[in-house]
Structure 1
Amino acid sequence: MITLGEYIIEKQHQFPNATGELTQLLGAIRLAAKVVNREINKAGLVDIIGATGVENVQGEVQQKLDLYANEKFKAALEARGEVCGVASEEEDEFVSFDSARSDSKYVVLMDPLDGSSNIDVNVSVGTIFSIYRRVSPCGTPVVLEDFLQPGHCQVAAGYVIYGSSTMLVYTTGHGVHGFTCDPSLGVFYLSHENMRIPDDGVIYSINEGNYLKFPTGVKKYLKYCQEIDPASNRPYTSRYIGSLVSDFHRNLLKGGIYIYPSTASAPKGKLRLLYECNPMAYLIEQAGGKASDGFNRIMDIQPTELHQRIPFFCGSQNMVETVEAMMREYSANE
């Protein structure tokens, strides 16, 4: 049984001039995840579920656990000293850590609690994180450009899923590895090494309630998924939880595609490029899959703002390429 800490140290040789800072940073994320997991498991027993009545910068009502998770992850990251600033879905602007060491070289972008509205009904939720090296000089305050980096510049990314078991899944560019928490000890053990997504799948994940608002290419793809064709294992199975981490995790293990396209009411899409799409794109590519906005590779998109939204197509490579072909075919007529 290999623990998360042991595994990270064992793989440190993969990084040129490794100094252990990234190891400490991932350790801070592990600690915060355990604290948040403890509170999630008490939902319904203590006053920590429900809305706060306050909206975040995206106009979404914040849940009590959104704010709790945000504060715990910020505190854990600041305490270690390897991080000079964070950007969060729950913060209007990025946060600079004045207490960071002068040589702190990393910034973290995060969705501290993805799918938090599902906690009230005991559905799996998660935390998504993305790590970059700053581009501004060490010893100076972080600047916006430190956070507005394309996804291919990520040093590491991952997520924690709080479900029937709690798992931390991460990549540093050398495969995707999953660790399951032993609740009796509070220790994450290696349970899924070198996770790979099948090239094809039989699951599609999308909120079909918005069908009438979808682009024509997405509508055509959904009809394709529902057609009877034994040679390609169609019709596919529709599975949509409404928590990105949960839907992504299932498709990663079993093969499938997750789609959150643009709609008539959200022409730029809904998911955040920096907090959700880039880290998931890094993970899926490292697992052998593909992530796209319907036309372009997610990790090649140059961010222009902290809370930028984009359409998101992510999963098994052949499935993503099929929907991309349909998007290109029908976009010219829209």
Structure 2
Amino acid sequence: MDRHITLGEFIIENQKDFPYAKGELSALLSSIRLAGKVVNQQINKAGLAEILGKAGKENVQGETQAKLDIMANEVFISTLRNRGEICGLASEEMEDFLAFDEDMHKDAKYIVLIDPLDGSSNIDVDITVGTIFSIYRRKSETGNTVNMEDFLQPGENQVAAGYLIYGTSTILVYTTGNGVNGFTFDPGIGSFFLSHPDIKFPEKGNIYSVNEGNYVHFPDGVKKYIKWVQQIDEEDGRPFTSRYTGSLVADFHRNMLLGGIYLYPQGTTAPNGKLRLLYECNPMAFLTEQAGGKASDGLRRIMELQPKELHERVPFLCGNKEMVEKAENFIKENQS
């Protein structure tokens, strides 16, 4: 049965879905799997290992780093650097990208963008966190050092994207443009097994995920959409249920499985939204579309946006296609 298929077996069996890869993508996903297992282990023993709490410094976004942020970043960098599949990496935790110039990387065709520990502000209160990754083919010639152009690519150029969610169970969800599949980690065996084949957003959803504490700062269109989802309408199944954890991976995963919409709009305290286009929005948009949903900034398709800088922020809506389109209509009708 499908649930007995390991992630490694699944990747090998589906290499045909990735015609220009000669095994490199399979090896790269295996590296991400390995790093995720290490991070999962560290998270599960964080209290005992005294790596809970803040590290006492800020990342490039001006956000206070948790100790596990730094640990996760180092694990993914070292794991991917020790293999030869990528020539460079950019992380939400670092100001600039890393170019891997060692001989083993000189002919590598891929670059990785990563949010090593999404939702890390929740670590100390034991709420679900995750890792988000995005893979592109480099644009520069192999043999040369990677440059900024390799990283500033629109989301529609992604060749793979996914996330690991470290919760009651650890699950790796990814796409290579041929649907979305999820694999649950069995710690007793040490392997990920296919547990969620061909994930699709339900046709109808009734969950909305937004930080309503920022309501007064939202644009009028978003305010009116929130009021609309809270109104009683038995035919529509409203009012919808509010669910928000502050961890994008956790909220997205729930909404994709149960049916819902996630919103992090622009506001007076976050003029461009809070989420990063390259590390969070693009990979989640790729997964959303592959699962039959829709992702936009309220006006434009996320995957078509041309990034201008590594840590660019954009407003973000993703989820059930019908729910996202309804929110977009409110936003468009109330533009000033």
The reply to whether TM is greater than 0.5 is yes
Deviations 1:116-151 (A, max 9, x none): 121111110000000000000000000000000000
Please state how far the C-alpha of 1:97 moved relative to its aligned partner.
0.8
Please state how far the C-alpha of 1:254 moved relative to its aligned partner.
0.3
Match of 1:310 in 2: 314
Structure 1 CA distance for aligned equivalents of residues 266 and 105 of structure 2: 41
Q: What is the identity, as a one-letter code, of the residue corresponding to 2:100?
A: F
Match of 2:237 in 1: 233
Matched, 1:66 2:69: yes
Please state how far the C-alpha of 1:200 moved relative to its aligned partner.
2.3
Matched, 1:250 2:243: no
CA contact 1:69–1:112 (8 Å) conserved in 2 = yes
Quote the sequence identity (%): 64
Structure 2 CA distance for aligned equivalents of residues 74 and 216 of structure 1: 42
Tell me which of 88, 93, 96 is aligned to 1:93. 96
Structure 2 CA distance for aligned equivalents of residues 184 and 214 of structure 1: 46
Structure 1 CA distance for aligned equivalents of residues 98 and 19 of structure 2: 29
Match of 1:111 in 2: 115
CA contact 1:43–1:120 (8 Å) conserved in 2 = no
Deviations 1:37-84 (A, max 9, x none): 001001221211111111111100011000100010011111110100
Map 1:284-299 onto structure 2 (within 5 A): 284-299=288-303
Greater Cα offset, 43-52 or 216-225: 43-52
Q: What is the identity, as a one-letter code, of the residue corresponding to 1:125?
A: V
Structure 2 CA distance for aligned equivalents of residues 130 and 25 of structure 1: 11
Structure 2 CA distance for aligned equivalents of residues 310 and 116 of structure 1: 20
Structure 2 CA distance for aligned equivalents of residues 303 and 117 of structure 1: 26
Match of 2:157 in 1: 153
- SS of residue in 2 equivalent to 1:85: strand
Tell me which of 30, 34, 42 is aligned to 2:45. 42
- SS of residue in 2 equivalent to 1:155: strand
CA contact 1:200–1:316 (8 Å) conserved in 2 = yes
Please state how far the C-alpha of 1:18 moved relative to its aligned partner.
3.2
Tell me which of 262, 266, 271 is aligned to 2:275. 271
CA contact 1:158–1:171 (8 Å) conserved in 2 = yes
Structure 2 CA distance for aligned equivalents of residues 63 and 18 of structure 1: 36
Q: What is the identity, as a one-letter code, of the residue corresponding to 2:67?
A: K
CA contact 1:200–1:317 (8 Å) conserved in 2 = no
- SS of residue in 1 equivalent to 2:80: helix
Structure 2 CA distance for aligned equivalents of residues 309 and 17 of structure 1: 31
CA contact 2:135–2:161 (8 Å) conserved in 1 = yes
Give the aligned length. Answer: 332
Tell me which of 2, 7, 14 is aligned to 1:4. 7
- SS of residue in 1 equivalent to 2:228: helix
Structure 1 CA distance for aligned equivalents of residues 275 and 254 of structure 2: 19
Structure 2 CA distance for aligned equivalents of residues 268 and 192 of structure 1: 34
Please state how far the C-alpha of 1:161 moved relative to its aligned partner.
0.1
Structure 2 CA distance for aligned equivalents of residues 15 and 252 of structure 1: 24
Structure 1 CA distance for aligned equivalents of residues 20 and 101 of structure 2: 26
Matched, 1:206 2:210: yes
CA contact 1:43–1:119 (8 Å) conserved in 2 = no
Match of 1:22 in 2: 25
Please state how far the C-alpha of 1:17 moved relative to its aligned partner.
3.9
Greater Cα offset, 100-109 or 288-297: 100-109
CA RMSD in angstroms comes to 0.7
- SS of residue in 1 equivalent to 2:185: strand
Match of 1:282 in 2: 286
Structure 2 CA distance for aligned equivalents of residues 209 and 285 of structure 1: 28
Q: What is the identity, as a one-letter code, of the residue corresponding to 2:75?
A: K
Deviations 1:11-32 (A, max 9, x none): 0111224310000000000000
Structure 1 CA distance for aligned equivalents of residues 44 and 105 of structure 2: 34
- Structure 2: stretches of 5+ with no match in the other structure: none
- SS of residue in 2 equivalent to 1:32: helix
Q: Normalization by structure 2: what TM-score?
A: 0.98
Please state how far the C-alpha of 1:101 moved relative to its aligned partner.
2.6
The runs of at least 4 aligned residues of structure 1 exceeding 3 Å deviation read: none
Tell me which of 153, 162, 165 is aligned to 2:166. 162
Q: What is the identity, as a one-letter code, of the residue corresponding to 2:101?
A: D
CA contact 2:161–2:174 (8 Å) conserved in 1 = yes
Structure 2 CA distance for aligned equivalents of residues 294 and 241 of structure 1: 22
CA contact 2:225–2:330 (8 Å) conserved in 1 = yes
